[in-house]
Amino acid sequence: MRLVIRKDFEAVSYHVAKYVKERIKEFAPTATKPFVLGLPTGSSPIGVYRNLVKFHQAGELSFQHIITFNMDEYVGLPRDHPESYHSFMWSNLFKHVDILPENVHILDGNATDLDLECQRYEEKIAAVGGIELFLGGIGPDGHIAFNEPGSSLNSRTRVKTLAYDTIVANARFFDNDITKVPNLALTVGVATVMDAREVCIIITGAHKALALAKCIEEGVNHMWTVSAIQLHPRGMIVCDEDATLELHVKTVNYFKSIEKVHEQLIGSDNVGLQGGVRSWRGGAESTYHQ
């Protein structure tokens, strides 16, 4: 797992957006070989989306051959409700870019058969060959998507009851009235996220410092569902300085030193996008290892 530490939310957002852009360019998607991207909602990715829109407007990034799958959606909330994740994705990303409507997937929280909707969602992901890169954020309790503490780390897309904490936290979007907050949601499972060939998690702010520490310094634990990333071969967490407050100094220094060593000894141009080293400066043979 890589941990990339940046100064603040803006720097984190820029780093992740640039990473997504470079990954897509490297992939060189076409109509028959689309890039499949998993997307979150909430406050964490807003800055990333803003930067992606900028890249698109500058002509540096096209969504023409990108297929997206969102993580979750409330149950029973009309699709056009301002707080629905359909609305969120429309106003923060989709309306600004050239993505094809038929390439966008968000769970339908108003489906007549919710279980079937979830099952079909997994099938749709499989039909396009799985997710190449899943972006995510976390809650202060370390939940990813709506996989609240205690969710199975093997869970798949399903109907989920929201934790009381989440309902209280989300009441601010519903006139501060907890009775208006939907208490059910459809969400991809922890395993759905971890099935992606690459997972990138954004964690910012002091209020998420404990979650970050629990997720990377302690064992894999269903009470901090994002800790499952420890078992992922290509996992990356991008966090800001504030989010590192609960980490050991040793942990922070280690991850910072990785970037530093790369920079000084290898040269950033020699480091692969996913952190692999193509060749060691002065080394006789070109090698590629993680």
Partner 1 sequence: MKLSIIAALSVAAAALVMSKENEPKVTKIINCRILRDHKIVEKDAIWIQSGKIIDPHKFFWYQKRLPDVVLDAEGLIIAPGFIEAQINGAFGVDFSVPMDHDIYEKGLLKVNRGLLKYGTTSYCPTIVSSSSSVYHRVLPHLKLRAGSAETGATILGAHVEGPFINKARIGAHELKVLQASANDGYKNFKEVYGLEGETPEAQRKLSDKDLNCIKIITCAPELEGVMDTIPDLVKAGITVSVGHSMANISQAERAVENGATFITHLFNAMSQFHHRDPGVIGLLGSRLDLPRPYYGLICDGIHVHPNSVKIAYDSHPKGAILITDAMSAMGLPLGNYQLGNMSVTKEDDRVYIEGTETLAGSVITLDACVRNFIKFTHCSLVEALEAVTLHPATLLGIQDTKGVIKPGADADLVFLSDDLYVKRVFVAGEEVDLKSIDVEAVEKF
Cβ–Cβ under 8 Å, residues 224 and 214: yes
Of residues 96 and 278, the one with the C-beta less far from partner 1: 96
For the chain, what's the residue count? 290
The active-site residue out of 15, 65, 105, 143 is 143
269 is an active site residue:
no
Residue 261 neighbours by CB under 8 Å, 6+ apart: none
Please choose, out of 122-130, 165-173, 260-268, 275-283, the segment that lies near partner 1 by the rule CB under 8 A: 122-130
Mask: binding to partner 1, 126-155, rule CB under 8 A, as x and -? -xxx--------------------------
Sites for partner 1 among residues 230-269 (CB under 8 A): none
Lay out the sheet containing 184-187: strands in order across: 72-74, 184-187, 158-161
Q: Which residues pair with 70 in a beta bridge?
A: 39
Of residues 80 and 285, the one with the C-beta less far from partner 1: 80
Terminal C-alpha separation, the chain: 10
94 binds partner 1 (CB under 8 A): yes
DSSP symbol at 179: G
d(CA 170, CA 175): 10
Element (H, E) at 107: none
How many residues bind partner 1, per CB under 8 A?
Answer: 17
**Shortest spacing between CB 81 and partner 1, in angstroms:** 11
80 binds partner 1 (CB under 8 A): yes
d(CA 26, CA 132): 12
**Shortest spacing between CB 57 and partner 1, in angstroms:** 9
Cβ–Cβ under 8 Å, residues 106 and 86: yes
Structure-token pair, residue 114 = 């919710």
Of residues 127 and 284, the one with the C-beta less far from partner 1: 127
Cβ–Cβ under 8 Å, residues 138 and 215: yes
Of residues 68 and 151, the one with the C-beta less far from partner 1: 68
141 is an active site residue:
yes
Please choose, out of 19-27, 100-108, 148-156, 183-191, the segment that lies near partner 1 by the rule CB under 8 A: 100-108
Residues annotated as catalytic (active site), given as ranges: 72, 141, 143, 148
Interface with partner 1 (CB under 8 A): 31-32, 79-80, 86-87, 90-91, 94-95, 100-102, 104, 127-129
